Amino acid sequence: MPSNKSVSDAPIVQFTNCRILRSHQLQREDLWVRAGKILNPEKLFFDEKGSADIQLDCKGSIIAPGFIDVQINGGFGVDFSLATDDFKSGIDLVSQKILSHGVTSFCPTLVTSPPSVYHQVLPQISIRDGGAHGAGILGAHLEGPFISKEKKGAHPEHCLRTFEEGAFQDLLATYGSLDCVRIVTLAPEMKRSSEVIRELTKRGICVSLGHSVANLSQAEEAVQHGATFITHLFNAMLPFHHRDPGIVGLLTSDKIPAGRRVFYGMISDGIHTNPAALRIAHRAHPKGLVLVTDAIAGMGLAPGRHTLGQQVVEIDGLNTYIAGTKTLSGSVATMDTCVRHFQEATGCSVETALEAASLHPAQLLGIEHKKGTLNYDSDADFLLLNDSLYVQATYIAGKEVWRQEALGM
């Protein structure tokens, strides 16, 4: 009989006594992992005649795919929109700390900044796998500066830009490089935005609509040119109006190209969106909802003054404002908190809440074949959670990278 080593020298780990989130359902079965991938036990038993080298008792925990945060501006005193000499150590710190919130991959997000900041910061962001060093980096999310002055929110007005002649070249000159860029948020009502959306989409970059006064037909046109995401739905856009629902109307639009799904980010922190609005969005388009934290440097720190790029922000409880105003500026929510609030506010199933932070962002970025699910051969990035959806342990590539203290397995 061939041994387990016939295919790989890596040990086979069997997680037992657990419920696995697979095919939109919690299933009572074991999870098998080898060499950083989810194994198909049938192939292991019948083709390889293999068995587990290590068995781990999960004591009834839920096993869910790792969370993916596609909009996070910083945390723990680190601001991704500040060009500092130790930017790399800052991004390393955030990627390490968010493991305890169940985040296994993320898109570091830069708010509207001067070109000099993009030119300094973007070359220091490299796409990389996660591991014991921290969550994986999927590429940068550039939120602005090509956004609406009327809906700038916490973005500094003096840094906002419009598309001039040669719009795409203008964008390239502003950012310096698109090598590590995964998402760009822009306002689709801007002149020449269609050309930019087409060019970005051609390069595999996700275009998100946000900080905008676009009407519904402008938003639909942007989607027809390739846009697939809405940045923090309801925030920094025209409010829903029954005669012209604006960008919000994309959730039920009949002008979306066949086979295309529009996704939308929601900051489910209990502050940015009233629970009733969260319920409306979820019921209108459940498969498009992507939970994001929109967390700023103050996440994980005591209330007080912190930065968000060029602005000073003040944290008061769970509220974050531009200093001296009542303009909301990002959040201090963690991803696991957003998942729990979303489930509580909408009354949705545990499976739905978990998929909004894992499967949906993976689908948005086109990486659902390897992230965001526990399908066979996908990356073994997963979480152990209790029934109240508190994270007990985080695994990346099948290896434990964080565990709640005093919980031993």
How distant, in Å, are the alpha carbons of 31, 33, 255, 344 from that of 221?
44, 44, 9, 35
Which pLDDT does position 1 carry in this prediction? 37
Residues 6+ apart with CB under 8 A from 395: 66, 380, 381, 382, 383, 384, 401
β-partners of residue 55 are 14
The reply, when asked if residue 51 is annotated as ligand binding, is no
63-99 burial, b at 16+ Cβ within 10 Å, e below that, comes to: bbbbbbbbbbbbbbebbbbbbeeebeebbebbbbbbb
The reply, when asked if residue 211 is annotated as ligand binding, is yes
Q: Which domains does the chain have, with CATH numbers?
A: 12-64+373-403 (2.30.40.10), 79-365 (3.20.20.140)
The reply, when asked if residue 133 is annotated as ligand binding, is no
Report the C-alpha gap between 347 and 332 in whole angstroms.
23
Q: In 65-215, which ranges are continuous DSSP H helix?
A: 87-97, 115-121, 167-175, 193-202
The reply, when asked if residue 261 is annotated as ligand binding, is no
The reply, when asked if residue 235 is annotated as ligand binding, is yes
Closest listed residue to residue 183, CA positions, set 69, 330, 293 = 69
The reply, when asked if residue 369 is annotated as ligand binding, is no
Residues identified as active-site: 294
To which residue do tokens 């079965």 refer?
A: 29
For the entire predicted model, the pTM comes to 0.96
Closest listed residue to residue 115, CA positions, set 81, 85, 149, 140 = 81
Per-residue pLDDT of the chain (409 residues; tens, 9 = 90+): 344 444 578 999 999 999 999 999 999 999 999 999 999 999 999 999 889 999 999 999 999 999 999 999 999 999 999 999 899 999 999 999 999 999 999 999 999 999 999 999 999 999 999 999 999 999 999 999 999 999 999 999 999 999 999 999 999 999 999 999 999 999 999 999 999 999 999 999 999 999 999 999 999 999 999 999 999 999 999 999 999 999 999 999 999 999 999 999 999 999 999 999 999 999 999 999 999 999 999 999 999 999 999 999 999 888 999 999 999 999 999 999 999 999 999 999 999 999 999 999 999 999 999 999 999 999 999 999 999 999 999 999 999 999 998 644 4
Q: In 157-261, which ranges are continuous DSSP H helix?
A: 167-175, 193-202, 216-224
